[in-house]
A and B are shown apart, each in its own frame.
Chain A
Amino acid sequence: MPVEEPGGKKSVPGGLWTKCEKCNEIIYNKELGKSFKVCPKCGYYFRLTPKQRIKLLLDRGSFRENYANLKPSDPLGFVAVQSYKNKVKQDQKKTGLSEAVISGEGRIGKHKVAIAILDFDFMGGSMASVVGERVTRLIEKAIKKRIPVVIVSSSGGARMQEGVLSLMQMAKTSAALGLLDRGKIPFISILTNPTTGGVSASFAMLGDVIIAEPRALIGFAGPRVIEQTIRQKLPEGFQTSEFLLKHGLIDMIVERKDLKNTIVRILNLFSS
């Protein structure tokens, strides 16, 4: 389950204006902020950083991060063209995060929740030991405190540089969700662009309710791998949120501006 690096995509430059990555429209940053980073012209969804996602979803000031004290090690001593250690340092600097997930507790419309947010900008949001451990601890804590779990995914899959240990995080997190089931505690899974590989093949597709943002790439294998395997071009709209909805694999597609409200409505129903 390979992790595809964000291929040379420019990050949103500082300053007053941002160019849409899809339609090249020049957008006034204030306007982009108001639209939750959705292009007002073509509706393209810019990626949100975990901080922006927290601002979007959680009640103001309610977020408390946990398990920040878990840091990546290099269990295999992995060196390719670049060493794993260097890559981690580089992405820590780039994102300001210690790993590809932020976990914590907070409130969504007054509901206490345990929440994790994956960041694609940190090694493609890939899951290795720390991501698996933080997500698992979060679920275990949610069971203890009897609060719902919300996970926002954006990931290319399991991280190659920690080998089979990354793969095993799929089993670990899924087993924890099994315990959550027994506790009869709801899990809402939010899929954002992109969610593939070992993350989609574990916790991301195990939500009691699965919500996707519009036009996100969601699937098991990446489109390039599929094209290479079947040697034909993929149909238009293949592996998008809309495709998954049509095939019965997710519950709904929700616009970013309505996401918080939708989660609150669902949590209200679970809690009454």
Chain B
Amino acid sequence: MLAEVEGLDFERPVVQLEKKIEELKNLDVNEKVDFSQEITSLEKKCEKLKKEIFGNLTPWQKVQLARHPQRPYTLDYINLLMSDFVELQGDRGFADDPAMVTGMAKFKEETVVVIGHQKGRTLQENMVRNFGMAHPEGYRKALRTMKLAEKFSIPIISFIDTPGAYPGIGAEERGQAEAIARNLKAMSELEVPIIVVIVGEGGSGGALGIGVGDKVLMLENAIYSVISPEGCASILWRDAAKAPEAAKALKLTAQDLLGLKVIDEIIDEPLGGVHRDIEFVGRHLEKKIKRYLNELKNLSVEELLRKRYQKFRLLGEFIEVQPSRKEKTEIKKEKK
């Protein structure tokens, strides 16, 4: 898989070196010449290089990794972590939206409802998947299957990976804003556990539209932001080329968001990103989802909803100054 694509600018030295090692290994087999020493030394060099390049990624580099053309998508995680997946399609109102995948599957012997944005791997696929940008019917389909989960007491797992909800004529005609808003309210009230995993791009309202849950996990190099760095740069810097600065200012990395309590836990990726070893992430993710599902199942519905409400209720930072004397008398009056 790696040899086919050049990779991102900053990962190219690693990709090239890996390609060379691969070639030597092939020669080693075919020509019956012993390159093993050279291979070992190159492999060492490669490991060092990986640490140098990937050990301290900037927010902008993480944005690029989150959008990496080889990054695993929702269906990749469903295939990896689940079995017996049955896709459920259509919003029962207008259309099926292939930018959103929903269905039922087995996760560790247990039935779950799974929803997630789905990007395409090729241009043709993206014509269908719309680059993972859902229309209102995508959000309505997700809500429909989540209601199904609630009806049969099935927990929900949501994978987030979208540049944003689609900004188009049809999307506006059919109420993109309403579809997202309705999901936010409905997800805060669904009487089954919801685990959200941000696996790639968490693009604003389009991400949050399936992002309200009891636990929010995030892959190490995923991003989650109120606006794309390019959009932010073009408005606040009046120059889209300042996207790397905007990426830094927006505090959109998993590490930033853990600090702001927007997410509960970071899922480690292998050095250089999940596309280099999806199994690595799969093992961690499986363990974490299992643990949280067990934890959440032990809560009463009341407790589950109370905690979910509080989780989002507490987000935000502001200064609360002492109410003025006049305000205090008002408050006293009210209490009486």
Contact = CB atoms under 8 A, between A and B. Distances in A.
Contact of A174 (B188, B227, B327): B188
B235 A220 contact: no
Given A171-B212, A174-B185, A198-B205, A4 B226 contact: no
Contact of A175 (B212, B237, B319): B212
Interface in B207-232: 208-209, 211-212, 224-227, 231-232
B169 A163 contact: no
A235 B172 CA distance: 12
Nearest to A158: B226
Interface size bracket, B side:
35 or more
Interface string A237-257: 011000100011100000000
Interface in B314-336: 315-324, 327, 330
A166 B188 contact: no
B174 interface: yes
Interface in A151-189: 158-172, 174-179, 181
A150 interface: no
B120 to A, nearest CB: 17
Interface stretch (B82-90, B109-117, B250-258, B284-292): B250-258
B212 to A, nearest CB: 5
B277 to A, nearest CB: 28
Given A158-B204, A175-B313, A70 B226 contact: no
Contacts of B308: 175
B312 interface: yes
A252 to B, nearest CB: 16
Nearest to B308: A175
A5 B236 CA distance: 10
Contact of B180 (A69, A129, A201): A201
Contacts of A266: none
Contact of A136 (B224, B313, B317): B313
B249 A2 contact: no
A76 to B, nearest CB: 5
A201 B139 CA distance: 12
Contact of A81 (B172, B181, B231, B238): B238
B128 interface: no
Contacts of B167: 220-221, 225-226, 229
B168 A229 contact: yes
Given A2-B227, A160-B226, A163-B225, A73 B317 contact: yes
B190 to A, nearest CB: 10
A197 B185 CA distance: 16
B204 A1 contact: yes
A171 B238 contact: no
Contacts of B49: none
Interface stretch (A18-26, A45-53, A202-210): A202-210
A45 B165 CA distance: 30
Given A2-B235, A164-B250, A175-B189, 13 more contacts: A3-B235, A64-B330, A66-B330, A69-B323, A70-B320, A129-B317, A158-B204, A171-B184, A178-B186, A179-B309, A201-B176, A220-B176, A248-B175
13 contacts: A69-B320, A69-B322, A76-B249, A80-B249, A129-B317, A158-B227, A160-B227, A164-B252, A174-B188, A175-B309, A205-B175, A220-B176, A221-B176
* Across the A-B interface, the 10 shortest Cβ-Cβ residue pairs: A221-B167, A129-B316, A175-B188, A174-B184, A80-B236, A220-B176, A200-B177, A75-B317, A220-B177, A168-B315
